[in-house]
Amino acid sequence: MKTLHELMTLKGRAALITGGAGHIGSAIAGGLAELGADIVILDMDQSKADATAGSLRQEYGVRTFGIAADLGQEAPLRQVPAQIEKELGRLDILIHAAALVGTSNLKGWAVPFAQQSAETWDDALRVNLTSSFILSQACADLLATSGKGSIINLSSIYGMVAPDLSLYAGTNLGNPAAYAASKAGLLQLTKWLSTVLAPKVRVNAITPGGIWRGQAEAFVAAYTKKTPLARMGTEEDLKGAAAYLASDLSAYVTGHNLVVDGGWTAW
Ligand SMILES: NC(=O)c1ccc[n+]([C@@H]2O[C@H](COP(=O)([O-])OP(=O)(O)OC[C@H]3O[C@@H](n4cnc5c(N)ncnc54)[C@H](O)[C@@H]3O)[C@@H](O)[C@H]2O)c1
Protein backbone atom coordinates (compact mmCIF):
# COMPACT_ATOMS: atom_id res chain seq x y z
CA MET A 1 0.00 0.00 0.00
CA LYS A 2 1.25 3.50 -0.87
CA THR A 3 2.07 5.96 1.87
CA LEU A 4 0.15 9.21 2.17
CA HIS A 5 3.30 10.98 1.03
CA GLU A 6 3.36 8.90 -2.17
CA LEU A 7 -0.34 9.51 -2.79
CA MET A 8 0.09 13.24 -2.26
CA THR A 9 3.05 13.94 -4.51
CA LEU A 10 2.49 15.80 -7.77
CA LYS A 11 6.06 15.40 -9.04
CA GLY A 12 6.09 14.97 -12.81
CA ARG A 13 2.58 16.38 -13.23
CA ALA A 14 1.48 19.68 -14.74
CA ALA A 15 -1.41 21.90 -13.68
CA LEU A 16 -3.23 24.72 -15.46
CA ILE A 17 -4.90 27.20 -13.12
CA THR A 18 -7.28 29.83 -14.49
CA GLY A 19 -7.41 32.94 -12.34
CA GLY A 20 -4.03 31.71 -11.13
CA ALA A 21 -2.84 35.24 -10.42
CA GLY A 22 -5.83 35.88 -8.15
CA HIS A 23 -6.07 35.41 -4.39
CA ILE A 24 -7.33 31.84 -4.23
CA GLY A 25 -5.83 30.73 -7.56
CA SER A 26 -2.31 31.74 -6.53
CA ALA A 27 -2.66 30.09 -3.10
CA ILE A 28 -3.78 26.85 -4.75
CA ALA A 29 -0.96 27.14 -7.32
CA GLY A 30 1.53 27.49 -4.46
CA GLY A 31 0.15 24.36 -2.79
CA LEU A 32 0.41 22.27 -5.95
CA ALA A 33 3.92 23.61 -6.68
CA GLU A 34 4.95 22.68 -3.13
CA LEU A 35 3.86 19.12 -3.97
CA GLY A 36 6.07 19.21 -7.07
CA ALA A 37 3.69 20.09 -9.92
CA ASP A 38 4.71 22.26 -12.85
CA ILE A 39 2.29 25.17 -13.04
CA VAL A 40 0.69 27.20 -15.82
CA ILE A 41 -0.93 30.41 -14.63
CA LEU A 42 -3.70 31.67 -16.92
CA ASP A 43 -5.07 35.12 -16.16
CA MET A 44 -6.16 38.34 -17.87
CA ASP A 45 -2.88 40.17 -17.62
CA GLN A 46 0.43 38.75 -18.91
CA SER A 47 2.61 40.60 -16.38
CA LYS A 48 0.52 39.40 -13.41
CA ALA A 49 0.46 35.81 -14.73
CA ASP A 50 4.24 35.94 -15.29
CA ALA A 51 4.86 37.43 -11.85
CA THR A 52 2.92 34.65 -10.11
CA ALA A 53 4.58 31.99 -12.25
CA GLY A 54 8.00 33.52 -11.58
CA SER A 55 7.59 33.53 -7.81
CA LEU A 56 6.49 29.88 -7.85
CA ARG A 57 9.54 28.96 -9.91
CA GLN A 58 11.77 30.78 -7.47
CA GLU A 59 10.19 29.33 -4.34
CA TYR A 60 9.60 25.73 -5.44
CA GLY A 61 11.96 25.20 -8.39
CA VAL A 62 9.17 23.85 -10.60
CA ARG A 63 8.64 24.70 -14.27
CA THR A 64 6.10 27.47 -14.70
CA PHE A 65 4.85 29.96 -17.24
CA GLY A 66 2.05 32.48 -17.59
CA ILE A 67 -0.63 32.71 -20.27
CA ALA A 68 -2.67 35.87 -20.78
CA ALA A 69 -6.17 35.08 -22.05
CA ASP A 70 -9.64 36.51 -21.64
CA LEU A 71 -11.89 33.65 -20.57
CA GLY A 72 -14.78 35.46 -22.22
CA GLN A 73 -13.29 34.64 -25.65
CA GLU A 74 -13.43 31.10 -27.01
CA ALA A 75 -10.71 31.10 -29.70
CA PRO A 76 -7.67 31.80 -27.45
CA LEU A 77 -8.79 29.09 -25.00
CA ARG A 78 -8.80 26.49 -27.75
CA GLN A 79 -5.05 27.16 -28.27
CA VAL A 80 -4.15 26.67 -24.61
CA PRO A 81 -3.70 22.85 -24.45
CA ALA A 82 -1.34 22.80 -27.46
CA GLN A 83 0.75 25.57 -25.90
CA ILE A 84 1.00 23.63 -22.62
CA GLU A 85 1.84 20.38 -24.39
CA LYS A 86 4.58 22.16 -26.31
CA GLU A 87 6.10 23.75 -23.18
CA LEU A 88 5.59 21.03 -20.58
CA GLY A 89 4.77 17.92 -22.64
CA ARG A 90 1.67 17.06 -20.60
CA LEU A 91 -1.34 18.28 -18.64
CA ASP A 92 -2.69 16.42 -15.61
CA ILE A 93 -4.69 18.97 -13.64
CA LEU A 94 -7.08 21.73 -14.75
CA ILE A 95 -8.31 24.09 -12.04
CA HIS A 96 -10.88 26.75 -12.91
CA ALA A 97 -10.54 29.45 -10.26
CA ALA A 98 -11.13 32.54 -12.42
CA ALA A 99 -14.42 34.36 -12.10
CA LEU A 100 -16.14 37.65 -12.20
CA VAL A 101 -16.63 37.98 -8.44
CA GLY A 102 -18.77 40.15 -6.17
CA THR A 103 -16.07 42.83 -5.99
CA SER A 104 -15.52 42.96 -9.79
CA ASN A 105 -16.20 46.51 -10.93
CA LEU A 106 -18.84 46.00 -13.62
CA LYS A 107 -21.94 47.86 -14.72
CA GLY A 108 -25.23 46.21 -13.70
CA TRP A 109 -23.45 43.64 -11.49
CA ALA A 110 -23.17 43.97 -7.68
CA VAL A 111 -26.21 46.25 -7.47
CA PRO A 112 -29.82 45.69 -6.38
CA PHE A 113 -31.67 43.13 -8.51
CA ALA A 114 -33.71 45.74 -10.42
CA GLN A 115 -30.46 47.29 -11.72
CA GLN A 116 -28.64 44.06 -12.66
CA SER A 117 -28.14 43.94 -16.42
CA ALA A 118 -28.63 41.07 -18.88
CA GLU A 119 -25.41 42.10 -20.65
CA THR A 120 -23.32 41.64 -17.49
CA TRP A 121 -25.25 38.43 -16.74
CA ASP A 122 -24.08 37.12 -20.15
CA ASP A 123 -20.47 38.20 -19.47
CA ALA A 124 -20.48 36.47 -16.07
CA LEU A 125 -21.92 33.24 -17.43
CA ARG A 126 -19.29 33.32 -20.17
CA VAL A 127 -16.30 33.81 -17.83
CA ASN A 128 -17.49 31.84 -14.81
CA LEU A 129 -19.20 28.88 -16.48
CA THR A 130 -18.85 28.66 -20.28
CA SER A 131 -15.06 28.97 -20.15
CA SER A 132 -14.90 25.90 -17.90
CA PHE A 133 -16.93 23.98 -20.49
CA ILE A 134 -14.62 25.16 -23.30
CA LEU A 135 -11.36 24.48 -21.45
CA SER A 136 -12.54 21.09 -20.15
CA GLN A 137 -13.47 20.11 -23.70
CA ALA A 138 -10.23 21.47 -25.19
CA CYS A 139 -8.05 19.80 -22.53
CA ALA A 140 -9.96 16.51 -22.28
CA ASP A 141 -7.65 14.46 -24.53
CA LEU A 142 -4.47 15.70 -22.86
CA LEU A 143 -5.93 15.08 -19.40
CA ALA A 144 -7.03 11.58 -20.43
CA THR A 145 -3.54 10.81 -21.75
CA SER A 146 -2.14 11.70 -18.32
CA GLY A 147 -3.80 8.69 -16.73
CA LYS A 148 -4.16 10.91 -13.63
CA GLY A 149 -6.39 13.62 -15.11
CA SER A 150 -8.20 15.83 -12.61
CA ILE A 151 -10.47 18.82 -13.23
CA ILE A 152 -11.44 21.04 -10.31
CA ASN A 153 -14.02 23.84 -10.60
CA LEU A 154 -14.22 26.57 -7.95
CA SER A 155 -17.88 27.15 -7.15
CA SER A 156 -19.34 29.15 -4.24
CA ILE A 157 -21.77 28.80 -1.37
CA TYR A 158 -24.02 31.03 -3.52
CA GLY A 159 -24.09 28.24 -6.09
CA MET A 160 -25.63 26.07 -3.34
CA VAL A 161 -27.86 28.35 -1.26
CA ALA A 162 -29.62 31.69 -1.63
CA PRO A 163 -28.14 34.88 -0.19
CA ASP A 164 -29.35 36.41 3.07
CA LEU A 165 -29.36 40.04 1.92
CA SER A 166 -29.50 41.30 5.50
CA LEU A 167 -25.76 40.48 5.69
CA TYR A 168 -25.08 43.16 3.09
CA ALA A 169 -27.18 45.93 4.65
CA GLY A 170 -25.16 49.12 5.12
CA THR A 171 -22.18 47.85 3.05
CA ASN A 172 -21.19 48.46 -0.58
CA LEU A 173 -21.08 44.70 -1.17
CA GLY A 174 -23.59 43.09 -3.52
CA ASN A 175 -24.72 39.62 -4.52
CA PRO A 176 -25.39 39.30 -8.28
CA ALA A 177 -27.92 36.76 -9.55
CA ALA A 178 -25.55 35.85 -12.40
CA TYR A 179 -22.79 34.94 -9.94
CA ALA A 180 -25.12 32.53 -8.14
CA ALA A 181 -26.47 31.04 -11.38
CA SER A 182 -23.00 30.59 -12.86
CA LYS A 183 -21.70 28.90 -9.70
CA ALA A 184 -24.71 26.56 -9.50
CA GLY A 185 -24.13 25.78 -13.17
CA LEU A 186 -20.51 24.90 -12.43
CA LEU A 187 -21.63 22.34 -9.84
CA GLN A 188 -23.86 20.59 -12.36
CA LEU A 189 -21.25 20.86 -15.13
CA THR A 190 -18.85 19.18 -12.68
CA LYS A 191 -21.28 16.30 -12.09
CA TRP A 192 -22.08 15.99 -15.80
CA LEU A 193 -18.40 15.84 -16.76
CA SER A 194 -17.60 13.41 -13.96
CA THR A 195 -19.46 10.58 -15.70
CA VAL A 196 -18.81 11.70 -19.26
CA LEU A 197 -15.01 11.94 -18.81
CA ALA A 198 -14.77 8.85 -16.56
CA PRO A 199 -12.83 6.68 -16.04
CA LYS A 200 -9.78 8.56 -17.35
CA VAL A 201 -10.45 12.01 -15.90
CA ARG A 202 -11.87 12.82 -12.47
CA VAL A 203 -13.99 15.98 -12.15
CA ASN A 204 -14.77 17.61 -8.80
CA ALA A 205 -15.70 20.99 -7.35
CA ILE A 206 -14.51 23.01 -4.38
CA THR A 207 -17.05 25.34 -2.81
CA PRO A 208 -15.40 28.04 -0.70
CA GLY A 209 -17.28 30.13 1.81
CA GLY A 210 -16.64 33.86 2.15
CA ILE A 211 -12.94 34.75 2.35
CA TRP A 212 -11.84 37.51 4.72
CA ARG A 213 -10.40 40.49 2.83
CA GLY A 214 -10.97 43.41 5.17
CA GLN A 215 -14.71 43.68 4.44
CA ALA A 216 -16.88 46.10 6.47
CA GLU A 217 -16.87 45.19 10.15
CA ALA A 218 -20.66 44.81 10.31
CA PHE A 219 -20.55 42.34 7.41
CA VAL A 220 -17.73 40.30 8.95
CA ALA A 221 -19.55 40.14 12.29
CA ALA A 222 -22.88 39.10 10.72
CA TYR A 223 -21.17 36.57 8.43
CA THR A 224 -19.16 35.10 11.30
CA LYS A 225 -22.30 34.75 13.41
CA LYS A 226 -23.78 32.47 10.72
CA THR A 227 -20.57 30.38 10.49
CA PRO A 228 -20.30 27.38 12.84
CA LEU A 229 -16.49 27.58 12.82
CA ALA A 230 -16.86 31.24 13.86
CA ARG A 231 -14.63 32.97 11.31
CA MET A 232 -14.45 33.85 7.64
CA GLY A 233 -12.26 31.70 5.37
CA THR A 234 -8.70 32.34 4.24
CA GLU A 235 -6.94 31.45 1.00
CA GLU A 236 -4.90 28.93 2.98
CA ASP A 237 -8.10 27.02 3.81
CA LEU A 238 -8.43 26.07 0.13
CA LYS A 239 -4.93 24.67 -0.34
CA GLY A 240 -5.58 21.29 1.26
CA ALA A 241 -8.84 20.79 -0.62
CA ALA A 242 -7.12 21.46 -3.95
CA ALA A 243 -4.14 19.24 -3.08
CA TYR A 244 -6.52 16.44 -2.14
CA LEU A 245 -8.62 16.62 -5.31
CA ALA A 246 -5.63 17.15 -7.62
CA SER A 247 -3.59 14.22 -6.31
CA ASP A 248 -3.96 10.45 -5.91
CA LEU A 249 -5.24 11.12 -2.38
CA SER A 250 -8.63 11.35 -4.09
CA ALA A 251 -8.03 8.68 -6.77
CA TYR A 252 -11.50 7.17 -6.16
CA VAL A 253 -13.37 10.48 -5.90
CA THR A 254 -15.26 12.02 -8.80
CA GLY A 255 -18.42 14.10 -9.14
CA HIS A 256 -17.89 15.45 -5.62
CA ASN A 257 -18.39 18.97 -4.26
CA LEU A 258 -15.91 19.59 -1.45
CA VAL A 259 -17.45 22.38 0.63
CA VAL A 260 -14.88 24.48 2.51
CA ASP A 261 -17.11 27.01 4.25
CA GLY A 262 -16.65 26.56 8.00
CA GLY A 263 -20.08 24.92 8.09
CA TRP A 264 -21.94 27.94 6.60
CA THR A 265 -24.19 25.74 4.45
CA ALA A 266 -24.59 23.02 7.12
CA TRP A 267 -27.76 24.58 8.51
N1 LIG B 1 -13.34 35.30 -2.30
C2 LIG B 1 -14.41 34.63 -1.86
O3 LIG B 1 -14.98 34.94 -0.80
C4 LIG B 1 -14.93 33.46 -2.63
C5 LIG B 1 -15.99 32.72 -2.08
C6 LIG B 1 -16.51 31.66 -2.80
C7 LIG B 1 -15.98 31.33 -4.03
N8 LIG B 1 -14.95 32.05 -4.55
C9 LIG B 1 -14.46 31.68 -5.87
O10 LIG B 1 -13.06 31.42 -5.82
C11 LIG B 1 -12.47 31.78 -7.07
C12 LIG B 1 -11.30 32.73 -6.85
O13 LIG B 1 -11.79 33.91 -6.22
P14 LIG B 1 -10.82 35.03 -5.62
O15 LIG B 1 -11.48 35.53 -4.40
O16 LIG B 1 -9.43 34.52 -5.57
O17 LIG B 1 -10.97 36.16 -6.72
P18 LIG B 1 -9.85 37.05 -7.41
O19 LIG B 1 -10.59 38.18 -8.06
O20 LIG B 1 -8.73 37.35 -6.48
O21 LIG B 1 -9.30 36.08 -8.55
C22 LIG B 1 -10.01 35.84 -9.74
C23 LIG B 1 -9.00 35.87 -10.88
O24 LIG B 1 -9.72 35.62 -12.09
C25 LIG B 1 -9.17 36.46 -13.08
N26 LIG B 1 -10.16 36.70 -14.12
C27 LIG B 1 -11.35 37.36 -14.00
N28 LIG B 1 -11.93 37.45 -15.19
C29 LIG B 1 -11.13 36.84 -16.09
C30 LIG B 1 -11.19 36.63 -17.49
N31 LIG B 1 -12.21 37.09 -18.23
N32 LIG B 1 -10.18 35.98 -18.10
C33 LIG B 1 -9.10 35.53 -17.38
N34 LIG B 1 -8.99 35.70 -16.03
C35 LIG B 1 -9.99 36.36 -15.41
C36 LIG B 1 -8.83 37.76 -12.34
O37 LIG B 1 -7.90 38.54 -13.09
C38 LIG B 1 -8.29 37.25 -11.02
O39 LIG B 1 -6.90 37.09 -11.02
C40 LIG B 1 -13.59 32.39 -7.92
O41 LIG B 1 -14.09 31.41 -8.78
C42 LIG B 1 -14.61 32.79 -6.89
O43 LIG B 1 -15.90 32.84 -7.42
C44 LIG B 1 -14.41 33.11 -3.88
φ/ψ (deg, to 5) at 240: -65, -40
Residue closest by Cα to atom 11 of ligand 1: 97
> Looking at the domain that runs over 4-259, which CATH code has it been given?
3.40.50.720
Any atom of ligand 1 within 6 Å of the Cβ of 119:
no
Q: Give the model's pLDDT for residue 104.
A: 81
One-letter amino acid at 221 equals A
Tell me the C-alpha to C-alpha distance, in Å, between residue 214 and each of 10, 174, 221, 225: 33, 15, 12, 16
> Where are the chain's structural domains?
4-259
Cβ atoms 145, 90 nearer than 8 A: yes
Give 7's contacts (C-beta < 8 A, 6+ positions apart): 247, 248, 249, 251
SS (H, E, C) the chain: CCCHHHHHCCCCCEEEEECCCCHHHHHHHHHHHHCCCEEEEEECCHHHHHHHHHHHHHHHCCCEEEEECCCCCHHHHHHHHHHHHHHHCCCCEEEECCCCCCCCCCCCCCCCHHHCCHHHHHHHHHHHHHHHHHHHHHHHHHHHHHCCEEEEEECCHHHCCCCCHHHHCCCCCCCCHHHHHHHHHHHHHHHHHHHHCCCCEEEEEEEECCECCCCCHHHHHHHHHCCCCCCCECCHHHHHHHHHHHCHHHCCCCCCEEEECCCHHHC
Q: Give the model's pLDDT for residue 103.
A: 81
Q: Which atom of ligand 1 is nearest to the CA of 232?
A: 3
Number of Cβ within 10 Å of residue 242's Cβ equals 30
* Cis omega (within 30 of 0) for bond into 81: no
Q: Give the model's pLDDT for residue 80.
A: 98
Any atom of ligand 1 within 6 Å of the Cβ of 100:
yes
Any atom of ligand 1 within 6 Å of the Cβ of 241:
no
Give the Å distance between the CA of 24 and the centre of ligand 1.
7
Number of Cβ within 10 Å of residue 47's Cβ equals 11
Based on C-alpha coordinates, what's the Rg of the chain?
18
Segments of the chain scoring below 50 in pLDDT: none
Burial of 112 (0-12, 13-18, 19+ CB in 10 A): exposed
Number of Cβ within 10 Å of residue 103's Cβ equals 12
Separation between Cα atoms, residue 125 and residue 148, nearest integer Å: 29
Give the Å distance between the CA of 59 and the centre of ligand 1.
23
Separation between Cα atoms, residue 26 and residue 54, nearest integer Å: 12
Residue closest by Cα to atom 23 of ligand 1: 19
Residue closest by Cα to atom 36 of ligand 1: 19
Cβ atoms 124, 102 nearer than 8 A: no
Give the catalytic positions in this structure.
179
Any atom of ligand 1 within 6 Å of the Cβ of 22:
yes
Any atom of ligand 1 within 6 Å of the Cβ of 27:
no
pLDDT in tens, 194-219: 999 999 999 999 999 999 999 999 99
Q: Give the model's pLDDT for residue 173.
A: 87
pLDDT in tens, 21-60: 999 999 999 999 999 999 999 999 999 999 999 999 999 9
Give the Å distance between the CA of 98 and the centre of ligand 1.
4
Any atom of ligand 1 within 6 Å of the Cβ of 207:
no
